[in-house]
């Protein structure tokens, strides 16, 4: 197995020490550099170039986004953002994702060492997945398996499977989308191409608490449709995309011929909250053939079981193709389980949505 070489760039000595220790302790990973700011990082890069860069965004002398853009112009490299859970930091982190970073690892302001140590497996898994990214087009090969620290619950932990099919088709249509690593860039590319008149969309993007609001706000400024972080009892309407809040599950409900969403607490499903499987199961239960399910770039298998349930309930189902994915894990598993009707490249997904709503 080829050793994954990592650079850590963070102005906190504690963060550098903890992250470097976690990575050096992981099999097949070596920390090349751990530096306090991007200016020092640029000097070290002249000696040796890493496979992955773990990057803070708010640092002295040069901010992380400026450094990220320099890297992407000179030599595109997978970058994992390590950022705090603050409103300002969230907006900055979303800008970094838009500039080409592949994933977010969150860090609290207090209890940092204990938090990072407790999240070690997830952090290492993220770095391994990033190392496989083709950031030129944002597609990766299979990430190295890592044993997670949490039990892997199914959607049964939130809601039971459907006992039968949903009611027959109506004029109301729902598009349900699930994505993870690489999804922020993919969703931006896809949603910005949609016309103002589009079917109602519900989205689970694996993203930490507080970042989804900033992500939705950014998309809303770029898209012709309206994009917002979902709130409890929001209606699913044409020309509106609802993004599940980080740290909460989102499920679809039906009220007569109308659809709305509920935002719920609950355990992680497939080690995620929000979970794609939870959303897809709810869509299978109450929308059935009135829905289009789309699974996009992401690590792991969240959404694969739910998309099969949607398919079995009469919904149309689509997977993003391997070439246009950052990580082909989620679509690949959905295809493997038989829940995918059609595989299309990212630039064609918007056309599928527009065609479905017409």
- 115 falls in which pLDDT band (50, 70, 90)? low
Domains of the chain by range and CATH? 4-131 (3.40.50.2300), 155-357 (3.40.50.180)
Query: What are the pLDDT digits (tens) for 122-180?
Result: 889 889 989 988 676 543 333 333 334 445 666 776 666 766 555 555 557 999 999 99
pLDDT of 268 strictly over 70:
yes
* pLDDT greater than 60 at residue 341: yes
Give residue-wise pLDDT tens across range 149-161: 445 666 776 666 7
The answer to whether residue 302 is catalytic is: yes
Has 206 been annotated as catalytic?
yes
**Residue tagged active-site, from 33, 51, 180, 321:** 180
Given 10, 234, 301, 302, the catalytic residue:
302
Query: Three-state secondary structure along the chain?
Result: CCCEEEEEECCCHHHHHHHHHHHHHCCCEEEEEEECCHHHHHHHHCCCCCCEEEECCCCCCCCHHHHHHHHHHHCCCCEEEEEECCHHHHHHHHHHHHCCCCEEEEECCCCHHHHHHHCHHHHHHHHHHHHCCCCCCCCCCCCCCCCCCCCCCCHHHCCCCCCCCCCCCCCCCEEEEEECCCHHHHHHHHHCCCCCCCCEEEEEECCCCCHHHHHHHHHHHHCCCEEEECCCCCECCCCEEEECCCCCEEEEEEECCEEEEEEECCCCECCECCCHHHHHHHHHHHCHHHEEEEECCCCCCCCHHHHHHHHHCCCEEEEECCCCCCCCHHHHHHHHCCCCCEEECHHHHHHHHHHHHC
Active site residue 282: no
Q: Check 33, 206, 249, 272 and give the catalytic one.
A: 206
């Amino acid at each position: 197995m080829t050793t994954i070489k990592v650079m850590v760039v963070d102005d906190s000595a504690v963060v550098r020490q903890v992250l470097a220790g976690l990575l050096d302790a992981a099999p097949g990973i070596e920390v090349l550099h751990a530096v306090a700011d991007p200016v020092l990082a640029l000097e070290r890069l002249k000696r040796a170039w890493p496979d992955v860069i773990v990057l803070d965004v708010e640092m002295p002398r040069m901010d992380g986004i400026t450094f990220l853009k320099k890297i992407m112009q000179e030599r595109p490299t997978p970058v994992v953002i390590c950022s705090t859970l603050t409103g300002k930091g969230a907006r900055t982190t979303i800008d970094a994702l838009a500039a080409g970073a592949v994933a977010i690892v969150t860090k609290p302001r207090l209890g940092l060492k204990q938090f990072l140590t407790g999240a070690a497996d997830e952090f290492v898994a993220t770095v391994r997945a990033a190392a496989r990214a083709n950031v030129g087009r944002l597609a990766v090969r299979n990430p190295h398996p890592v044993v997670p620290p949490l039990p892997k619950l199914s959607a049964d932990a939130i809601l039971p499977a459907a006992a039968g099919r949903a009611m027959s088709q109506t004029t109301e249509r729902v598009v349900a989308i699930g994505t993870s690593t690489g999804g922020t860039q993919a969703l931006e590319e896809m949603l910005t191409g949609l016309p103002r008149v589009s079917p109602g969309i519900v989205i689970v993007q694996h993203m930490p608490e507080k970042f989804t609001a900033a992500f939705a706000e950014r998309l809303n400024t770029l898209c012709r449709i309206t994009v917002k972080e979902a709130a409890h009892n929001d209606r699913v309407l044409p020309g509106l995309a609802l993004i599940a809040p980080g740290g909460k599950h989102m499920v679809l409900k039906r009220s007569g011929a109308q659809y709305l969403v509920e935002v719920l607490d609950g355990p992680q499903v497939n080690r995620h909250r929000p979970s794609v499987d939870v959303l897809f199961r709810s869509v299978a239960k109450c929308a059935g053939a009135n829905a289009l399910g789309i699974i996009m770039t992401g690590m792991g298998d969240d959404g694969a079981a739910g998309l099969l349930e949607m398919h079995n309930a009469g919904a149309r189902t689509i997977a993003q193709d391997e070439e246009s994915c950052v990580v082909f894990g989620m679509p690949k598993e959905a295809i493997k389980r038989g829940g995918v009707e059609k595989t299309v490249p990212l630039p064609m997904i918007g056309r599928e949505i527009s065609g479905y709503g017409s």
